[in-house]
Amino acid sequence: MGRKLAVLVGINYPGTDGELKGCLNDVARMRRCLVDRFGFDEAGIRVLADADPSMPPPTGANIRLELERLVGNAQPGDTLFFHYSGHGLQLPAETGRDDDTGYDECIVPCDLNLIKDQDFTELVAKVPDGCLFPMVSDSCHSGGLIDKTKEQIGNSTKQNKTQQREREMRPRPGTSLSTSLLRIVRGTFESLGIHLPRRGQQQSSSVQSGGPEPHAKAEATTRASSTTNRSLPLSTFIEMLRDRTGKHDVGVGSIRTTLFHHFGDDASPKIKRFVNVMLGKLRHDGKLDALRAALEQEAHSVQEVYAGTAARVVVPRPRNGVLISGCQTGQTSADATTPDGVSYGALSNAIQTILAGKKHGTVTNRKLVLKTRELLSKQGYTQQPGLYCSDEHANLPFIC
């Protein structure tokens, strides 16, 4: 019989403009559930949580390290599990303008070192055959966290492909590919301290150029006295990033290069590939050390590092992953507090409620998601959890 191993991440972002209440509670409840219901050994569960000095901080580097260890040590017959409760973010196109390159769906570690959808896709693709890797992401925009995985329940990826391709090929009025690339390269240079002369109107760093922000309206519920959502408005993320990095000129068009400049080799692999492509063979005196982490990431085209539908990265289909998302890509997930002060994520609480109501026997991944949708709807929430996996895994028990 294989091992049962898990990584649980809860981030409340205390003292920030993005503070949440229920994420650490979600992780504590899931940890007890794994041990009491599913027979996990406590030693096989790694917990990363902020506001708890006894636990490793859930930085981007720490989360990636634990997930890489989890997958890297996996053997056929093992059951792996990942639960994330925290903020989600949709990062707009690299130019800072709505140029139809789409969005990156991300989770937001406590240090803001984003982990992107493509990072998760590449991670799950490494899971060996005969090993299953279910994931629960109680965060906003989580329907897009594992690309290339079949959507069993939801509407995050079902689009008209013909219209989608037409949007990708259609240039934005008044712009060209060369103009867009110039903006990207300029932002890349300037984030590394290389200032280029400007001609004509400067590119705005206003958050508004990135497109509409996720709405911040609290969702109604019959069981909670108050709710917020687990989505960081882009303006809030940028302000938090400015405070953390000390770079007060960060704008939509320079988020990725700022993350690379600040985190270096610990930045998302996709961000490092992006910087690699934008800089090309640049060798600027005094900048080689800063560039090395990016230049080690192999990339062959601009399309490869774009967000969303224009991406052309060849990644093996992640066959052995199961994603249960808190909501669809364009939706937010609720962080709720009851009248007596108990806080939780709406998805996490629904999962625990359903499992508690079925004390004996198993519930399949498909049945669990359908039941969470039904329960959340009865409670007044508008978010719709999704299921992303193969046909075979859809009908397997949740956490085999």
Q: What is the pLDDT of residues 215-253, one digit of tens each?
A: 333 333 345 678 999 988 999 999 999 999 999 999 988
Instruction: Tell me the mean pLDDT in the region 275-297.
Output: 56
For residue 235, the model assigns a pLDDT of 93
For residue 16, the model assigns a pLDDT of 94
Compute the distance between CA of residue 237 and CA of residue 17 in angstroms, rounded to an integer: 9
For the chain, percent of residues with pLDDT exceeding 90: 56
Mean pLDDT of the chain: 79
For residue 222, the model assigns a pLDDT of 44
Instruction: Tell me the mean pLDDT in the region 107-124.
Output: 95
Instruction: Tell me the mean pLDDT in the region 146-164.
Output: 69
For residue 285, the model assigns a pLDDT of 45
Question: pTM of the entire structure?
Answer: 0.78
Instruction: Tell me the mean pLDDT in the region 261-281.
Output: 82
Could you tell me the pLDDT band of residue 299, with boundaries at 50, 70 and 90?
low
CATH 3.40.50.12660-classified regions of the chain: 4-156+315-394
Sign of CA dihedral 148, 154, 160, 163: negative
Residue matched to tokens 């982990």: 115
Instruction: Tell me the mean pLDDT in the region 143-164.
Output: 71
Compute the distance between CA of residue 17 and CA of residue 20 in angstroms, rounded to an integer: 9
For residue 358, the model assigns a pLDDT of 81
Compute the distance between CA of residue 347 and CA of residue 334 in angstroms, rounded to an integer: 8
For residue 368, the model assigns a pLDDT of 97
Cα 339–Cα 222–Cα 33 angle in degrees, nearest 5: 75
What letter would DSSP give residue 364? B
Sign of CA dihedral 31, 112, 315, 97: positive
Could you tell me the pLDDT band of residue 273, with boundaries at 50, 70 and 90?
confident
Specify the amino acid at residue 60.
G
What phi and psi, each to the nearest 5 degrees, are found at residue 42? -60, -35
Instruction: Answer for the pair 118, 313: CB distance below 8 angstroms, yes or no.
Output: yes
For residue 221, the model assigns a pLDDT of 37
Compute the distance between CA of residue 273 and CA of residue 118 in angstroms, rounded to an integer: 12
For residue 270, the model assigns a pLDDT of 85
Q: Which of 119-128, 315-324, 342-351 has the lowest mean pLDDT?
A: 315-324
Instruction: Tell me the mean pLDDT in the region 118-132.
Output: 93
**β partners of residue 138:** 85
| pLDDT one-digit tens code per residue, 94-105 | 654 433 336 788
CATH, domain 4-156+315-394, list 3.40.50.980, 2.40.33.10, 3.40.50.720, 3.40.50.12660? 3.40.50.12660
Instruction: Answer for the pair 9, 58: CB distance below 8 angstroms, yes or no.
Output: yes
Compute the distance between CA of residue 137 and CA of residue 154 in angstroms, rounded to an integer: 15
Residues annotated as catalytic (active site), given as ranges: 87, 140
Helix H segments across the chain? 23-36, 60-72, 117-125, 161-169, 177-191, 234-245, 255-263, 269-279, 288-295, 302-305, 346-357, 365-378, 391-394
Compute the distance between CA of residue 12 and CA of residue 312 in angstroms, rounded to an integer: 34
Q: Which tokens is 4 given?
A: 């049962």
Specify the amino acid at residue 225.
S
Compute the distance between CA of residue 356 and CA of residue 261 in angstroms, rounded to an integer: 46
